Chain A
Amino acid sequence: MKFTGAEIIIKAFEHEGVDVVFGYPGGQILPFYDKLYDSSIRHILVRHEQGAAHAAEGYARATGKPGVCIATSGPGATNLVTGIANAYMDSIPIIALTGQVPTSKIGSDAFQEADITGITLPIVKHSYLVRDVNTLAGIVRSAFHIATTGRPGPVLIDLPNNISTATAEFEYPPPVALRGYRLPGEIDPNLIYQAAKAIGEAKKPVIYSGGGVISSGASDELRELAERAQIPVTTTLLGKGAFPETHPLSLGMLGMHGTKYANYAISYSDLIIAIGARFDDRITGRLDTFAPHAKVIHIDIDPAEIGKNVRVHYPLNGDVKAVLKELLLRLEEPEDQEWLKQVKAWKAENPLTYTMIDGVIKPQYVVEQICDLTGGNGIVTTEVGQNQMWAAQYYRTLAPRTFISSGGLGTMGFGLPAAIGAQVGCPDKLVFDIAGDGSIQMNSQELATAVAYNLPIKVAILNNGYLGMVRQWQELMWNRRYSQTDLNVGTPDFVKLAEAYGALGLRATRPEEVRPVLEQAIATPKPVVIDFLVAREENVFPFVPPGEPLTKMVGG
């Protein structure tokens, strides 16, 4: 029996266990949408394709399953680009399916034609332009395999209209052998032995763990390593949740807006155990002054990350979980407790702080209250900027896949659609988007999606009427010249905006209103937007100015 290309895609999705997709229809993808109409796969209709890509990512990050987003050709496809780039930078498995003009018209500047495989070339793990319906099932299979294995990432399938209506036999192929796709093999036991020995001999070890721990599902192994060897753990923004931040060995986040004690620990350590992290510039500060006394163990699935930014003494290329398991078998536990005492002293002396002022809501306070009321059992997404850094600092994450933020790309407008994706994937969880007044306006149309599917997400806007992070940089580095960062004029009344969409809108203007408003939001089984009018010129501290060493922290 023969099936159309559109039917083959749907059957292949079913084989891959896809039960929900995020998308927006249009002309060239219509054959697919027609078949989807009869399918059991749930489709979440977003209001802008960028929302579909971010929602697919939020879904993937909350559930651990690949997210799927769908758009038509041309502008539909180009609207996915930011979301695809975001997933690429943060190594999140998503599949982007785009319609395309018929193969006979490709290259003719046809209506709604865009060379999306060309446009996305540098931001995908891989991509396919389907030219023959007989290859389609194999392509979908390979796409899911590539997106979800190794270092995960986005894979794009561009589906010309005539391929989606052409017919072929359907047989879902066995796992494909891709001769050009290499996954790390068994790790050399000798390398494990040497790394274990280095840990045993280290006087000042620190674990620096990133998003790779979460994508590998290695939180338990990380915890065992830290506890058995009594090594303090700092995480990146993407690593939040890999290690419970209430744990005595937790140092919270490191880097540009990291805690002072995490930055001291990494700067004065003699052994950094980097796990699923990539020594990004927001982590290292000025590279030639980064951790000058430390040897480096680097565990990462991507061989290209090892030695890319810093010199690595013990390269362990492999899946984080598998490598940690091996390492734990040979672990030598250091006996020296002096370092831990020092780190704990730093922690006690340099807590994250802010000052409460009568009658003024501090944004950090709002985050603390969200953390307290959810008990760490919810999922938090963030937008990008000050809201994101306060969320990272003051929302103590307890479990993996519960803190979802745009790290590498820093995409404003990520948080709301990501929250939608997370809520779709985890319907029983309480999902908060911690937002800023600038970021939320970049994808606020997705409130319609939240309302349409009655997704009870809570959008907490830390409204300071500024593009706060840029304003902070202008204050600290550009002589208080607030060029184009004041958003006060023109910003909508967020309560009315929420109501216009059919969501609940709430507002807090004084500190004592924060908690009751949050409680009301949590008790409301539908989407809620809360407008917190916060201190306008509050800064995120500590702050390592760009290009400075990590020890040179300003404020806090």
Chain B
Amino acid sequence: MRHTLSVLVENQPGVLTRVAGLFARRGYNIESLAVGETHDHSVSCMTIIAGGDDLVIEQVVKQLGKLIDVIEIKDISQVEYVDREMALIKVKAGPSVRSEIMQIVDVFRARIVDIGHETLIIKCTGDEGKIRAIEKSLRPFGILELVRTGEIAMVRGPKYGDA
């Protein structure tokens, strides 16, 4: 099962290596990892999507908790949360198919952020399902490049843990 872990870490060099290294060394699986500074500039937030049964996830959380640079770990899978990721998709788009592609972009509330001679770059944000869906819709036109940010997540309502 997929678990979404929201991990607050010290915003310092080497911290990402420690976290990623722990996953590698203990044989845990990272499906997605996104990291960035929080409103407190000394703290970064990592959103880690990890696969594994409950025992594995329990170990992941406990072992992460032992890293000195990890300040707080929340497995938010069981609570209501908002998650988003962004994808940039470069798709083949000759004049004959452009309008069709633009319709798809509208349906997914994505945006065209660059128009080339024979290509379009589309930016799409949403949860993982939506990204997968737009990818599937665009595939027949020929996807030339695709990059994704990885998922970031936030618990709904008051600050998680405070309520």
Chain A residues proximal to chain B, CB less than 8 Å: 117-118, 121-122, 125-126, 129, 146, 178-182, 302-304, 307-308
Chain B interface residue count: which class? Answer: 20 to 34
Residues of A within 8 A of B71 (CB): 179-180
Residues of A within 8 A of B17 (CB): 118, 121
Task: List 30 contacting pairs A-B, 8 Å CB cutoff, sorted by A.
Answer: A117-B14, A118-B17, A121-B17, A121-B18, A121-B21, A122-B21, A122-B22, A122-B25, A125-B68, A126-B68, A129-B14, A146-B68, A178-B68, A180-B9, A180-B10, A180-B67, A180-B70, A180-B71, A181-B68, A182-B65, A302-B66, A303-B62, A303-B65, A304-B59, A304-B62, A304-B63, A304-B65, A304-B66, A307-B55, A307-B58
Name the CB-closest residue of A to B26: A122
Q: Nearest chain A CB to B74's CB is how many angstroms away?
A: 14
Residues of A within 8 A of B14 (CB): 117, 129
Q: Nearest chain A CB to B50's CB is how many angstroms away?
A: 15
Residues of A within 8 A of B83 (CB): none
Residue of B25, B62, B63, B69 near A180 (CB, 8 A) is B69
Residues of A within 8 A of B58 (CB): 307
- 3 tightest A-B CB contacts, nearest first: A304-B62, A180-B71, A126-B68
Q: What is the bound-complex CA distance between A118 and B14, given in angstroms?
A: 9
Q: What is the bound-complex CA distance between A307 and B57, given in angstroms?
A: 12
Residue from A121, A122, A180, A307 with most neighbouring chain B CB atoms (10 Å): A180
Name the CB-closest residue of B to A123: B25
Residues of B within 8 A of A307 (CB): 55, 58
Q: What is the bound-complex CA distance between A4 and B71, given in angstroms?
A: 32
Q: Nearest chain B CB to A124's CB is how many angstroms away?
A: 10
8 Å CB contacts to A: which residues of B1-33?
Answer: 9-10, 14, 17-18, 21-22, 25
Q: What is the bound-complex CA distance between A180 and B41, given in angstroms?
A: 16
Q: Besides A126-B68, A129-B14, A304-B62, 20 other CB < 8 A contacts?
A: A117-B14, A121-B21, A122-B22, A122-B25, A125-B68, A178-B68, A179-B71, A180-B9, A180-B67, A180-B68, A180-B69, A180-B70, A180-B71, A181-B68, A303-B62, A303-B65, A304-B59, A304-B66, A307-B55, A307-B58
Residues of A within 8 A of B67 (CB): 180
Residues of A within 8 A of B59 (CB): 304, 308
Name the CB-closest residue of A to B22: A122
Q: Nearest chain B CB to A125's CB is how many angstroms away?
A: 8
Residue from A118, A121, A302 with most neighbouring chain B CB atoms (10 Å): A121
Q: What is the bound-complex CA distance between A88 and B92, given in angstroms?
A: 54
Q: What is the bound-complex CA distance between A181 and B22, given in angstroms?
A: 16
Residues of B within 8 A of A302 (CB): 66
Name the CB-closest residue of B to A150: B66
Q: Nearest chain A CB to B56's CB is how many angstroms away?
A: 11
Q: Nearest chain B CB to A184's CB is how many angstroms away?
A: 11
Residue from A117, A129, A304 with most neighbouring chain B CB atoms (10 Å): A304
Q: Nearest chain B CB to A319's CB is how many angstroms away?
A: 16
Residues of A within 8 A of B69 (CB): 180
Name the CB-closest residue of B to A146: B68
Residues of B within 8 A of A122 (CB): 21-22, 25
Q: Nearest chain A CB to B142's CB is how many angstroms away?
A: 40
Q: What is the bound-complex CA distance between A250 and B96, given in angstroms?
A: 86
Residues of B within 8 A of A303 (CB): 62, 65
